[in-house]
A and B are shown apart, each in its own frame.
Chain A
Amino acid sequence: MWPRLPPRAREEGSRAALIAAGSTIIVVGLILWIILTSEAWPAVQKQFFSWFHFKESFPDVLRGFWLDVKMFIVAEILILSFALVLAMIRSLRGPAFFPLRAIVVTYIDIIRGIPMLLLILLLGFGVPALQLQGVPTSRLFWGVAALVISYSAYTAEVYRAGIESVHESQRMSARSIGLTQVQALRFVIVPQAIRNVIPALLNGFVSLQKDVALVFVLGVREGLREADIYNARTFNYTSYVVAAVLFLLISVPVARFTDWYTERDRRRRQAMST
């Protein structure tokens, strides 16, 4: 557990907390006062923050949001695995692996160069329209596929940074005991690499968790789509606020966890190096 702070540090700690709380109250209060006293506020409140519409739209948006959560979980698992394979291939050395490396580099370059929304539209509307035998025609399927394809390209680069952060001597000693390149990556390099990039991977979680809502352009009835439908019916925007609140309920804790983990990791490393 945390070491107990000496009395003086504790005193300073509580003083700092007091100052932080005080200045927060002043700043937030000021912003609220400016907003709430503005002339347009009553109209805005009716349009965006209506308690009636909040309650009315909540069940539908929540149901849609549940699909967002499921898409997120499925996509994240696929991304983490697929991206790791890409990064490992890219890290193989020697002329024999050149074609494989070239394919992966091309893939990463092209996918990272296409706006994700465009990729979702292309796959979501394009592939089903081809009417190929045995190929799924579900827009939901292709929406998630587009997310996986796009995010994998970025995540592969995160993994690669991790792989390169492991010292060359580790690779050398792995090879010296007779491991093949792939074995050295799998048993020696990658486990250390992943540990080094967990904060960056968690960061990707936060980002994907809200990007799943982009598949609403395909007409998939997830949270944002439901909010959109409600708005179209009632001309009230509160349903969007409902969707925003739901997304925040997940992404803020993940962001806090990321910070907490990164800080803990930093402390550990410091402790180890002393």
Chain B
Amino acid sequence: MSSPKLEIKDVSKAFDEKVVLENVDLEVNLHDVVCLIGSSGSGKSTLLKCINLLVPIDGGDIVLDGQAITDAGVNPNQVRQRMGIVFQAFNLFPHMKVIDNITLGPRKVHGVGQEEAEETARTLLGQFGLLDKADEYPDRLSGGQQQRVAIVRALAHEPELMLLDEVTSALDPELIAEVLNVIRDLKASGMTMLIATHEMGFARDVADQVCFLDAGRILEQAPPDQLFSEPEQQRTRQFLQRIVEAGRL
């Protein structure tokens, strides 16, 4: 087995006094999908933002393809170009058409010409059934469509790794499936992904590994069948129990 695509080594993060991540260790192999589960505030989102260097870490290392990206002197813009991140609240640019949302990065960061960038964007939009939305503004789209556009935008610079931060949490229930199907397609195409989610059924279905986070620590990590059926930790069992009671699993 070759070295993992992404390694998180002993990463810690605190906002003022509040510890958000505590000695987190995690590995993501190429083409694997790792799901992060755990209650709100357990540190899932922060971990993803740390990997994207949007939030600086206090201790530890984050290693991408053997290179420590959290070292001083590493250009964060170059690191970010190798990953795509999608947020819970879509965060599309409201003053730009869908097509411009997608081509902005390729044009300004990678120097791709307008025509070429638009062609690539339209191909991607076509793949995700959004071609007819290319010239709309984001506020004309449903939540599910906006989130799919956000995924396309993150894919536009051909990332090696996708980070998805509770991408269905802000959606109406009937719109969740269309977004989850997009992620399934991504997995089928071999994309390496790290996904924070509250959709346990989805995690069980799509993940190669599931990590349970609690109060900033990874309490348990296992393949989904094992973690959902026979969790080792008491906290994991409690968490899953509450999910079952809420009818979400």
Give the interface of A toward B (CB within 8 A).
169-170, 172-180, 183, 187-188, 191-192, 195, 272
Nearest CB of B to A67, in Å? 38
Q: Which B residues touch A178, using CB under 8 A?
A: 77-78, 80-81, 105, 109-110, 157
The stretch of B57-65, B85-93, B211-219 that contacts the partner chain: B85-93
Residues of chain A contacted by B195 (CB below 8 angstroms)? none
* Given A187-B104, A187-B108, A177-B153 contact (CB < 8 Å): yes
Which one, B87, B89, B108, B139, contacts A272 given CB within 8 A?
B139
Name 8 A/B residue pairs within 8 A (Cβ), A-sorted.
Answer: A169-B91, A172-B87, A175-B54, A175-B76, A176-B54, A176-B80, A179-B109, A180-B77
Contact A192 B95 (CB under 8 A): yes
Interface flag for B193 (CB, 8 Å):
no
Q: Which residues of B contact A272 (CB under 8 A)?
A: 139
* B87 CB contacts on chain A under 8 angstroms: 169, 172-173
Separation of A172 and B163 alpha carbons in the complex (Å)? 14
Beyond A173-B87, A176-B54, A177-B80: 6 further Cβ-contacts under 8 Å? A177-B153, A178-B80, A178-B109, A178-B157, A179-B108, A188-B104
B117 CB to nearest chain A CB (Å): 12
A210 CB to nearest chain B CB (Å): 33
B154 at interface by CB-CB < 8 Å: yes
Q: When the two chains form the complex, which single residue of A173, A175, A183 contacts B108, counting CB atoms closer than 8 Å?
A: A183
A170 touches B81 (CB 8 A): no
Residue of A nearest to B77 (CB): A178
Whether B209 is near chain A, meaning CB under 8 Å from some CB there, is no
Q: Chain B contacts of A175 at CB under 8 A?
A: 54, 76-77, 80
Chain A residues in 8 Å Cβ range of B153:
177
Distance between B109 CB and nearest chain A CB, rounded to angstroms: 4
Q: Is B52 an interface residue (CB 8 A)?
A: yes
B94 in contact (CB, < 8 A)? yes
Main secondary structure of the interface of A (DSSP, over half): helix
Residues of chain B contacted by A173 (CB below 8 angstroms): 85, 87, 91-93, 150
* B49 proximity list for chain A (CB < 8 A): 172
The 5 closest A-B pairs by CB, nearest first: A177-B105, A173-B91, A178-B109, A178-B81, A176-B85
How many residues of chain B get a CB closer than 8 Å to chain A's CBs? 28
Whether A170 contacts B93 by the Cβ 8 Å rule is yes
Do A172 and B54 have beta carbons less than 8 Å apart?
A: yes
Q: How many A-B pairs fall under 8 Å by CB? A: 61
- Minimum CB–CB distance from B76 to chain A (whole Å) comes to 8
Complex CA gap A177/B93 in Å reads 12
Report the Cα distance A258→B157, complex, angstroms: 42
Task: Say yes or no: B81 contacts A188, CB within 8 Å.
Answer: no
Q: Which residue of A lies closest to B110 (CB)?
A: A178
Task: Evaluate contact between A177 and B104: CB separation under 8 angstroms.
Answer: yes
A172-B108 in contact given A178-B80, A272-B139 (Cβ < 8 Å): no
Smallest distance from the beta carbon of A144 to chain B beta carbons, Å?
A: 33
C-alpha spacing A272/B49, complex, angstroms = 30
* Interfacial chain B residues near A187, Cβ < 8 Å: 104, 108
In the assembled complex, the CB of A180 is this many whole angstroms from the nearest CB of chain B, namely 6
- For A172, what are the chain B residues with a Cβ–Cβ distance below 8 Å? 49, 54, 87, 91
> Which residues in A have their C-beta under 8 angstroms from that of B92?
173
- CB-CB nearest in chain B for A188: B93
Q: How far apart are the CA atoms of A183 and B80 in the complex, in Å?
A: 14
Enumerate chain A residues within 8 angstroms of B110, measured Cβ to Cβ.
Answer: 178
* Interface contact B105-A192, CB-CB below 8 Å: no
In angstroms, Cα B93 to Cα A187, docked, is: 9
* Residue contact A179 to B104, C-beta cutoff 8 Å: yes
Task: Compute how far the CA of A191 lies from the CA of B153 in the bound complex, rounded to whole angstroms.
Answer: 19
Cα–Cα distance between A238 and B7 once the two chains are bound (Å): 82
In the complex, chain B residues whose CB is within 8 Å of the CB of A174: 93
In the complex, the chain A residue whose C-beta lies closest to that of B49 is: A172
Given A177-B80, A178-B81, A272-B139: A169 touches B89 (CB 8 Å cut-off):
yes
Please indicate the chain B residues that have their CB under 8 angstroms from the CB of A180 in the complex. Answer: 77
In the complex formed, the residue of B with least CB distance to A194 is B95
A191 to B95, CA, bound (A): 7
B246 CB to closest chain A CB (Å) equals 27
A179 & B89 in contact (Cβ 8 Å cutoff): no
Q: How far does the Cβ of A168 sit from chain B's closest Cβ, in whole Å?
A: 10
Whether A176 contacts B108 in the complex (CB less than 8 A), given A170-B93, A188-B93, A192-B94, comes out as: no
Contact with A along B100-144 (1 / 0, CB 8 A): 000011001110000000000000000000000000000100000
Among B52, B76, B91, B110, which residue has the most Cβ atoms of chain A within 10 A? B91
Complex CA gap A102/B67 in Å reads 35
